[in-house]
Chains A and B, each alone.
Chain A
């Protein structure tokens, strides 16, 4: 390992937010990976004789109206949250980075067109826009993923566009063009590597937002459907029993905030270390 990498590593480990975020992140990943071993029961095993049992040693988070073990459901829910979040951010990054690169590199009419698309996307509250798309496609987790990705790429495109514009003006891009590199080659080999750190920060900070939005839509009954142990679905089921069994409404929410907080801390840490200019995000 060379000197500068070592220095970065030391700076990273001294950033308390980043370290806490990393620990939370790892714990969520481990929970999702080893859900089969951590959860005492499956997420759909019912036991009507044991419905609405408050939290106890046998059922750490209590049970719901079907006597299902909430702890097991919340543990399995981490898989859904992670998978959904990653897919949303993947699509969003693909759209945002490629459109941002094209707009920033070519400029002119393409730039105008893409910027106008961004403006139009911004003229609707993301959640409302996503709900309209889901109404057309029908409620399901897949459609939530698609709709959230469609409404949230613009921010990434905007940042990538402006970063691309500034890198494009540098001498080495000029040189690459002079020796006859293709546009795609220049974008992939010369521009993208140079704007990688803001992209890493944006992607990390987009993940918690994606998890929050998809869970909100599942909570509204537009996303994952029962008996899927999506945290939003469990919270939706819990609201009917809020007086009788408030634990159904509490634990999935704690898991959600814990996960989102972890990613936020990780993203803020990365931003401070990699690209302090992005402070406003």
Chain B
């Protein structure tokens, strides 16, 4: 098991490195000149050149890359071209808002998805099952940003119950959290439902029933415990999707998180900030993918053995 975990961890580190190279290449192939973006068009070429030297943009690409990585390892992520604040400071002040939103959405999604999946699985084929499963398809077709707009129209404009946007106390999180979490609830529910139905057909479940274990005992000890393995793994694997979605949702709700900062920095071509945020997101994503992989191994010995054989 330890071997398996170590290999996954090593693969994760290599992947992060590969991602930094790819992102660096993509971001530095920008045809426009970030220095020209922020300076007055009347500024002379000499001054432009001086600025380029100051920001290190005159050096060859690979030198810039190692310079960037080296600085990051020393905890220096650079300075925003637009606001001249340090990127680390910008991210540090926004990241908590994004994490609260994403983790809140993750927990909401898991609880609601598993509960409703269990609810429809034990009523398989009933009217309730059909209605809820159809609703899930509609939910899945709903873009998070439009769901956010609809929630604003209903709860903020029409009923005036909740703030329209920004951060104004804990009540502000309700609408962005719902907009972010509701569409993916559908897939968690569908997965839970199909896994439960599959496990309920297994021989060991029939045996448990036959030897007189009470119904809820079978459901909890035998069915749920096995059916929730894939659901738990997707819990970790879905973090990247939530972070991607939070960029859009944070923009709709003017939520003061990292996603909105990323969007604004992209609009202003603020390269150091974009680089920093994208790197943080890549690290978060690879970490949660790795945890997901290791969890699969811990929870399901069959997969672990398969991996160890290879």
Q: Do A220 and B26 touch (CB < 8 A)?
A: no
Q: Is B262 an interface residue (CB 8 A)?
A: yes
Residue in B143, B145, B240, B266 whose beta carbon sits within 8 Å of that of A125 in the complex: B240
Would A124 and B285 be within 8 Å (CB), given that A131-B262, A132-B274, A239-B149 are in contact?
Answer: yes
Q: Interface 1/0s, chain A 108-136, versus B by CB < 8 A?
A: 00000000100110111111100111111
Residues of A within 8 A of B274 (CB): 132, 135
Q: A128-B278, A208-B141, A250-B153 are in contact. List 14 more A-B contacts (CB 8 A).
A: A122-B289, A125-B281, A126-B244, A128-B243, A128-B244, A131-B262, A133-B26, A137-B31, A221-B267, A242-B157, A242-B164, A249-B149, A260-B142, A264-B140
Residues of A within 8 A of B15 (CB): 119-120, 123
Closest to B230 in A: A280
Residue in A131, A246, A265, A279 whose beta carbon sits within 8 Å of that of B137 in the complex: A265
Q: Is B247 an interface residue (CB 8 A)?
A: yes
**How many Å from the CB of A237 to the closest CB on chain B?**
12
Q: Interface 1/0s, chain B 32-61, versus A by CB < 8 A?
A: 100000000000000000000000000000
Q: How far is the CA of A216 from the CA of B263 in the complex (A)?
A: 12
Q: Is B23 an interface residue (CB 8 A)?
A: yes
**How many Å from the CB of A73 to the closest CB on chain B?**
16
Q: Is A138 an interface residue (CB 8 A)?
A: yes
| 9 contacts across the A-B interface (CB closer than 8 A) | A122-B285, A127-B247, A131-B262, A136-B28, A138-B31, A221-B267, A242-B152, A242-B157, A253-B150
Q: Is B191 an interface residue (CB 8 A)?
A: yes
Q: How far is the CA of A261 from the CA of B140 in the complex (A)?
A: 8
Residues of A within 8 A of B240 (CB): 122-125
Residues of B within 8 A of A116 (CB): 18
Residues of A within 8 A of B31 (CB): 136-138
Q: Is B248 an interface residue (CB 8 A)?
A: yes
Closest to A131 in B: B266
Q: Is A76 an interface residue (CB 8 A)?
A: no
Q: Is A256 an interface residue (CB 8 A)?
A: yes
Interface, chain B (partner A; CB < 8 A): 11, 15-16, 18-19, 22-23, 26-32, 137-138, 140-146, 149-150, 152-153, 157, 164, 191, 194, 240-241, 243-245, 247-248, 251-252, 262-263, 266-267, 269, 274, 278, 281-282, 285-286, 289
Interface, chain A (partner B; CB < 8 A): 17, 116, 119-120, 122-128, 131-138, 208, 212, 215-216, 219-222, 235, 238-239, 242-243, 246, 249-250, 253, 256-257, 260-261, 264-265, 268, 279-280
Q: Is the interface of A mostly helix, strand, loop or mixed?
A: helix
Q: How far is the CA of A120 from the CA of B286 in the complex (A)?
A: 9
**How many Å from the CB of A146 to the closest CB on chain B?**
12
Residues of A within 8 A of B29 (CB): 136
Residue in A120, A122, A257 whose beta carbon sits within 8 Å of that of B138 in the complex: A257
Q: Do B243 and A125 touch (CB < 8 A)?
A: yes
Q: Do B248 and A124 touch (CB < 8 A)?
A: no
Q: Do A132 and B137 touch (CB < 8 A)?
A: no
Q: Do B26 and A136 touch (CB < 8 A)?
A: yes
Q: Do A215 and B143 touch (CB < 8 A)?
A: yes
Residues of B within 8 A of A122 (CB): 240, 285, 289
Q: How far is the CA of A208 from the CA of B139 in the complex (A)?
A: 13
Residues of A within 8 A of B194 (CB): 279-280
Residues of A within 8 A of B18 (CB): 116, 120, 123
Q: Do A222 and B266 touch (CB < 8 A)?
A: yes
Q: How far is the CA of A92 from the CA of B247 in the complex (A)?
A: 23
Residues of B within 8 A of A138 (CB): 31-32
Q: How far is the CA of A215 from the CA of B143 in the complex (A)?
A: 9
**How many Å from the CB of B248 to the closest CB on chain A?**
5
Q: How far is the CA of A243 from the CA of B143 in the complex (A)?
A: 21
Q: Do A127 and B248 touch (CB < 8 A)?
A: yes
Q: Do B153 and A123 touch (CB < 8 A)?
A: no
Q: How far is the CA of A221 from the CA of B248 in the complex (A)?
A: 11
Residues of A within 8 A of B140 (CB): 264
Residues of A within 8 A of B142 (CB): 257, 260
Residue in B27, B146, B241, B266 whose beta carbon sits within 8 Å of that of A235 in the complex: B146
Residues of A within 8 A of B26 (CB): 132-133, 136
Q: How far is the CA of A158 from the CA of B18 in the complex (A)?
A: 19
Q: How far is the CA of A123 from the CA of B30 in the complex (A)?
A: 22
Residues of A within 8 A of B263 (CB): 131, 220
